[in-house]
Structure 1
Amino acid sequence: MNLEIPQSVKVWSQFIHPILMWVLLAISFYALYLGIQIRRTRSAEGELKKELLKGKFNVKHHQMGSLLLALMVTVAIIGMAVTYINNGKLFVGPHLLAGLGMMAIIAIAASLTPLMQKGNDWARNTHIFLNIVLLGLFGWQAVSGVEILQRIISKM
């Protein structure tokens, strides 16, 4: 069975991955903001602490982290699938390898959640470190992704 994908779908499908990844990058910065608020809440005292607790930053951070984990893995797979469908192969290079590394990093960072909930400081510090590395890679991925997108557009 040979399922032929229409050319117009092949062309426009190439834009799904970059658009969604830019949205995920913005959500990542929001999750960072929430994480910073959690740290502020943890070290605050008195009325300031009461006020910060009302923001429920820990719940929101956990929700954004879960969303990021699910969507980052899904959108990365979509990007690889679209590349394969359009080219018959994946281009193994820095963009792909860094993206695969990002999926591993976000999975490891999320897996530390039960330990952090028990108050484990090394898990919390590792989570923070991994997510800073993740944001750095994500920023680089955004730039290299735009370069790839420009090449695709120039061939249209």
Structure 2
Amino acid sequence: MNIAFIAHDKKKDDMVQFVIAYEQVLSGHQLYSTGTTGKRIMEATALKVHRCQSGPLGGDQQIGAMIAENQMDCVIFFKDPLTAQPHEPDITALIRLCDVYCIPLATNIATAEILLRGLQRGDFQWREIVKGKTKDAESS
């Protein structure tokens, strides 16, 4: 599974602690993130994270492009709802893409925990079926 991590500045500590708690579950997956979030995760864990640009410099859009190309299976985005973000349109677009392409999205630690527990149980196997259908349609 391809899993993206994004965290606003005031939520980066929460994201790092969350990933530390689920490091064993995440170790068998391809991980992606925006710039600083990925750097912080790699400094705190043994996980390899493919880093995009930072959010304000286009990282949200890079992950959005992966969603649109059916290359992302889950997004964990710890948003800071109390601080205005200069790239709010990019954030809104990313969330919209998750809805359009039926990509599970967690915007807080409670929902993220539910998603990772589901991943641990094997509840995301439907994503492999969706990916297979997309590949079949593209090769036709």
The question of a shared fold, defined as TM-score above 0.5 by the shorter chain, is answered with: no
TM-score by length of 1: 0.29
Q: Who wins on radius of gyration, i.e. which is larger?
A: 1
The alignment's TM-score, normalised by the length of structure 2, stands at: 0.31
When you count helix as a share of all residues, which structure comes out higher? 1
Q: Name the structure where strand makes up a greater proportion of residues.
A: 2
